[in-house]
Amino acid sequence: MSAEEKESSAGPPMPLSLARAGSRVRLVCVRAGRGLARRLADMGFVPGDEIQVVSNGVPGPLVVLVKGSRLVLGRGMAEKILVK
Partner 1 sequence: METIKKTITIALAGNPNSGKTTVFNSLTGSRQHVGNYPGVTVEKKEGYRDHKGYRVRVVDLPGTYSLTAYSIEELIARHFVVEEKPDVVVDILDATNLERNLYLAVQFMELGARLVLALNMSDLAKVRGYEVDREKLSVLLGCPVVPTVATKGEGMSGLLDAAIAQMNETHNLPSVTVKYGWEIEEEIARLSSLLEKCDELASNHSPRWLAIKLLENDTEVREQVRRQCGNSDEILDAVRRSTQHLETVFGDAPEIVIADRRYGFISGACRESVRSTGQSRYDMSERIDSVLTNRIIGLPLFIGLMYLVFQFTFTLGAPLMELLEKLFALMGNVISSLWPAESESALKSLLVDGVIGGVGSVLSFLPNIMFLFLAIAILEDSGYMARAAFIMDRIMHKVGLHGKSFIPMLLAFGCTVPAIMATRTLEHRTDRLTTILVTPLISCGARLTIYAMMIPAFFPLAWRARVLWILYIIGILLALLSAKLIRVTVLRGESTPFVMELPPYRMPTVRGVAIHTWERACMYVKKAGTIILAVSVILWALTSYPKSKELEKEFDREMARVQRLLVSNGDTGGEAAIQEKLDQLQREKEAQMLAHSAAGRIGRFLEPALRPLGFDWRIGTAFLGAFAAKEVFVAQMGIVFSIGDAETSHRSLRQKLHENYSRLTGFCVMLFAMIATPCVATVAVTRREAGSWKWAIFQFGGLTVMAYILTLLVHQIGLLLS
Q: Which is nearer to partner 1, 8 or 71 (CB)?
A: 71
Provide the 3-class DSSP secondary structure of residue 81.
Answer: strand
Closest approach, Cβ 59 to partner 1, in A, equals 6
- Could you give the CA distance from residue 27 to residue 37 in angstroms, rounded to a whole number? 12
- Could you give the CA distance from residue 70 to residue 77 in angstroms, rounded to a whole number? 15
CB atoms within 10 A of CB 20: 11
Task: Pick out residues in 7-66 that bind partner 1 (CB under 8 A).
Answer: 29-30, 32, 34-44, 46-49, 55, 57, 59-61, 63, 65
Return residues touching partner 1 (CB under 8 A): 29-30, 32, 34-44, 46-49, 55, 57, 59-61, 63, 65, 67-77, 80
